Amino acid sequence: MEQCACVERELDKVLQKFLTYGQHCEQSLGELLHYVGQLRAELAGAALQGTPLSATLSLMMSQCCRKIKDTVQKLASDHKDIHSSVSRVGKAIDRNFDSEICGIVSDAVWDAREQQQQILQMAIVEHLYQQGMLSVAEELCQESTLNVDLDFKQPFLELNRILEALHEQDLGPALEWAVSHRQRLLELNSSLEFKLHRLHFIRLLAGGPEKQLEALSYARHFQPFARLHQREIQVMMGSLVYLRLGLEKSPYCHLLDNSHWAEICETFTRDACSLLGLSVESPLSVSFASGCVALPVLMNIKAVVDQRQCTGVWSHKDELPIEIELGMKCWYHSVFACPILRQQTSDSNPPIKLICGHVISRDALNKLINGGKLKCPYCPMEQNPADGKRIIF
């Protein structure tokens, strides 16, 4: 963090310089324009009278030319001075961050370069779609001749259309979507539809006493949610009492809080993503964030490995030399490590449940077979190895 702050300080200096330069530039050019304009008017005046160019005017003209030259030169040299500050930022980055990170990436990662590149491009495109930067994503698809079919794009397009409307405080598209996906949302335990209706109701309340009737009639939308959200509905009904007085001065003023809008965007993104089978954060941003956490640890390990010259510690292409804690946010599914071989199970070496209930990996099971029989390493129950069942986490 200290390193980031260090670079940020240099960056602030440059930005400040740019700002001052911009203002100075604007002012000097403005003055110059004014001066030239005045001179031009005088020249035009003289031309109208048909008099030859007076000595004063000719002197003024040469003065003006000199002034223009001086000002432009001064601005150019000031601009040059900023370059040194910009390059200081570059130096600060070099000084504070390790640039050499290639060492911790296995060379084999880029073996099938073309294919890898396509995977990376696809990840970037998906990220851009997810961020709502549709035109940038399209541009990248075209430039990289990536073929993304409509089925892939469609959910992102729809999501973004609705989110954009929500940002504009337009509940219509989101409500329409929630109603048409009601059943599946309920299966997800989602309260999205209720929250959208509630927000619409609150907006009516904010309209004051003249919206009272409309609000009351809108309240029928809460009926399907009466059991699950009883308390919240009671609060909203209670707030009607204060409509005449003004909700903002009542104990219900929290209903008008703007944070509800941010919350609804979050709820919609989360629930719609899980319904459409998309991750809330794009795989690219998750990988990037994980990489930022893992990189310092891996670089330390690499340094130790190099220093002690213990080759072969880190040779597996798809395996890290140590476990790296990425935090709860990155827990997606359970993993099972075989208690016998102390290895994480995989598709080729899946976990097997023995009839006694103990679980070991298939490789361990194969190793433990003795004369067609298997003795559980935990409870020593003897059993037929074929009775073990594969389990899926």
The CA-atom distances, in angstroms, between 345 and each of 208, 323, 359, 390 are: 62, 15, 11, 11
Distance CA 261, CA 168 (A): 10
Smallest distance from Zn ion to CB 342, Å: 18
Smallest distance from Zn ion to CB 353, Å: 10
Decide whether 205 or 376 has the Cβ nearer to Zn ion.
376
N- to C-terminal Cα separation, the chain: 37
Decide whether 297 or 368 has the Cβ nearer to Zn ion.
368
Decide whether 17 or 353 has the Cβ nearer to Zn ion.
353
Strand order in the sheet with 382-383: 369-370, 373-375, 382-383
Residue 18 engages Zn ion in binding (rule: CB under 5 A): no
Distance CA 32, CA 366 (A): 88
Decide whether 21 or 378 has the Cβ nearer to Zn ion.
378
Number of residues that bind Zn ion (CB under 5 A): 5
8 A C-beta contact, residue 206 and residue 247:
yes
Decide whether 52 or 380 has the Cβ nearer to Zn ion.
380
**Other beta carbons less than 10 A from residue 254's beta carbon:** 12
Smallest distance from Zn ion to CB 377, Å: 7
Smallest distance from Zn ion to CB 349, Å: 19
8 A C-beta contact, residue 222 and residue 195:
no
x/- track of binding to Zn ion for residues 254-283 (CB under 5 A): ------------------------------
Smallest distance from Zn ion to CB 382, Å: 10
Decide whether 216 or 355 has the Cβ nearer to Zn ion.
355
Smallest distance from Zn ion to CB 357, Å: 6
Task: Kindly tell me the burial class for residue 178, based on how many C-beta atoms sit within 10 Å of its own C-beta (0-12, 13-18, 19 or more).
Answer: buried
8 A C-beta contact, residue 267 and residue 192:
yes
Decide whether 32 or 340 has the Cβ nearer to Zn ion.
340
- Structure tokens of 338? 């075989």
- Which among 316, 269, 377 is positioned nearest to 109, based on CA atoms? 316
Smallest distance from Zn ion to CB 138, Å: 57
Smallest distance from Zn ion to CB 370, Å: 15
Decide whether 33 or 379 has the Cβ nearer to Zn ion.
379
The contacts of residue 310 (CB under 8 Å, 6+ apart) are none
**Other beta carbons less than 10 A from residue 347's beta carbon:** 5
- Which among 90, 76, 78, 82 is positioned nearest to 15, based on CA atoms? 82
Decide whether 301 or 356 has the Cβ nearer to Zn ion.
356
x/- track of binding to Zn ion for residues 219-258 (CB under 5 A): ----------------------------------------
Smallest distance from Zn ion to CB 387, Å: 12
Distance CA 219, CA 198 (A): 9
- Structure tokens of 285? 């941003």
8 A C-beta contact, residue 321 and residue 103:
no
Per CB under 5 A, contacts with Zn ion among 332-391 are 356, 358, 376, 378-379
Give the footprint of Zn ion on this chain (CB under 5 A).
356, 358, 376, 378-379
